[in-house]
Amino acid sequence: MKWKPLRIWDWRIKLAYFVAAVALGWPLGRIASLIEDLGVVVIAFHIAAILFGARIFRGSGEPIDEPRPGWRMTSRPTMSRRFGKLAAVFAALGVVNIPLLYLVDLIPRHYVRPPLTPWDGIQVAISAAGLGVIAFLYLRSARRLGWRERPAPEVAGPISLDAPGGIG
């Protein structure tokens, strides 16, 4: 019996994969909050889901049976660039959110909220770092795919001085 690798090429199944990954992250976060708020578990799960999806998803014209090269995240440089920029924006928002998290705690409120701990900022920093790694991987994939898809430069033949349009 030959093992057939798991590959997803239909956009509807890719969407279902994404929805399932987000949906599984929510109860995982609820369970983790009961155990001392281990939000890092959810972050690690989402990063693993993105990386696993990059390995099993296939684009049109991509070979199904052969594994993708390790650097390749999508089938086209445009999609890699878009996903990379989106991940970079979310990573930057996470970095901006760290000081705001503690500044908002200084504002007086009419309700009682548990004080923030240093671990809260560390969780946001880990999330931003994870998204930064994802952004790097997607943007590196876009760059390398762009190199592969550029046509080779045309090399001009030898210049003949006696040819029509030549010198002399």
Looking at residues 100-120, what average pLDDT do you find?
A: 75
- Domain boundaries in the chain? 11-149
Mean pLDDT, residues 15-21 taken together: 89
User: What mean pLDDT comes out for the span 52-80?
Assistant: 87
Whole-number average pLDDT of the chain:
80
Look at residue 50 and tell me whether its pLDDT is greater than 80.
yes
| Nearest residue to 135 (alpha-carbon basis) of 67, 73, 46 | 73
Residue reference for tokens 């390790």:
70
Q: Is the pLDDT of residue 16 over 80?
A: yes
Instruction: Return the pLDDT at 31.
Output: 76
- Comparison of pLDDT for 54 and 3, the residue scoring more: 54
Q: Report the sign of the C-alpha dihedral through residues 96, 135, 125, 127, in that order.
A: positive
H or E element at residue 136: helix 118-149
Of the given ranges (12-21, 86-95, 119-128, 153-162), which has the lowest mean pLDDT? Answer: 153-162
Q: What is the pLDDT of residue 83?
A: 92
The residue that leads in pLDDT, 23 or 32, is 23
DSSP 27-94: HHHHHHHHTT--HHHHHHHHHHHHHHHHHHB--TT--SSSPPPTT--SSSHHHHHHHHHHHHHHHHHH
For residue 8, the SS3 value is: strand
**Quick check: 142 and 88 in contact, CB under 8 A?**
no
pLDDT at 132 > cutoff 90: yes
Name residue 75's amino acid: S
Q: Band the pLDDT of 118: cuts 50, 70, 90.
A: confident
